[in-house]
Amino acid sequence: MSLKRAVWVPVFLCALALPGPVLRASPDGRPAAIPRSLDLQDVKVQWFGQGAEELPSWINAHFLVGPLDGITGTVTETDLEADGLDDDGDPVGFETSVFDTADGSLRDVTLGRNGLAFTTVFADKDSGRVTYALRRSHTVPGGWILSAVGKGATGFSYGRNRFPLTGDEKKRGALDIRTAPAALDDPLPSL
């Protein structure tokens, strides 16, 4: 029996790793192809750290796969800053950071059929960094899930998409992921 298991396990693992479109299909049943471009539009990330909820951020991004499969991209992150209070006592103020593969502030970009990962590096005094991972939902057709982990001066934080995300292939190879319009008033999704 151990001989059968020794043969079966490597074959199974190879089948999961092979990049064939038959092995990995999109949630709607169509073969999933590696996108040539991917856009994130106004994705709200809810952050948690030190056992408590932190202020959210919004990210927008554009990634493009070049002719030699090199990936270039730009990520814009807008953080809500607690540098003041409005009339209702809510924090006000925003800080926007731009990260780009050209200057090295956006690194380790990987793009596949079913996901994306990248790391943003802050050039400020604490040299914080955040690693984002985006993957197709296994339960919601056309849905995506974003998760993130960050390390900065205050320690580690983790984040996830505040609202459900949907993806559209606007044209062949051009994937657009954004907040699901019907979910704007929904509570945090259960992941």
Give Cα 31 distance to the centre of its chain.
21
From CA 103, how far away is CA 128, in angstroms rounded? 16
Structural domain that includes position 13? 1-26
Q: What angle do CA 131, 116, 156 make, to 5 degrees?
A: 15
Q: Give domain status of residue 189, yes or no.
A: no
Q: Give domain status of residue 191, yes or no.
A: no
Q: Give domain status of residue 188, yes or no.
A: no
Clarify whether residues 59 and 22 are in a common domain: no
| pLDDT at residue 86 in the model | 63
β-pair type (115-121, 129-136): antiparallel
Under DSSP, the state recorded for 103 is T
| pLDDT at residue 88 in the model | 67
Clarify whether residues 4 and 69 are in a common domain: no
* Residue that has been written with the tokens 């200057």 in this structure: 103
pLDDT along the chain (191 residues), means of 10: 41 36 40 82 93 90 90 92 65 84 95 93 82 94 94 89 91 91 56 46
| pLDDT at residue 89 in the model | 65
**Within a 13 Å sphere around the CA of 125, how many CA atoms are in the beta-carbon half?**
2
From CA 94, how far away is CA 134, in angstroms rounded? 24
| pLDDT at residue 13 in the model | 36
Q: Give domain status of residue 62, yes or no.
A: yes
Other beta carbons less than 10 A from residue 27's beta carbon = 17
Clarify whether residues 2 and 76 are in a common domain: no
Judge whether 16 and 8 are in contact, CB under 8 Å: no
Which residues have C-beta within 8 Å of that of residue 49, sequence separation ≥ 6?
154, 155, 156, 157, 158
Q: Give domain status of residue 60, yes or no.
A: yes
- pTM comes to 0.74
**pLDDT tens for each residue of 111-141:** 988 999 999 998 876 678 999 999 999 999 8
Kindly state the tokens that stand for 132: 């984002």
| pLDDT at residue 74 in the model | 97
Clarify whether residues 90 and 158 are in a common domain: yes
| pLDDT at residue 12 in the model | 37
Clarify whether residues 20 and 111 are in a common domain: no
If one counts the domains in the chain, the total is: 2
DSSP 127-153: --EEEEEEEE-SSSTTEEEEEEEEEET
Q: Give domain status of residue 144, yes or no.
A: yes
Kindly state the tokens that stand for 140: 């919601």
Clarify whether residues 12 and 103 are in a common domain: no
Clarify whether residues 113 and 93 are in a common domain: yes
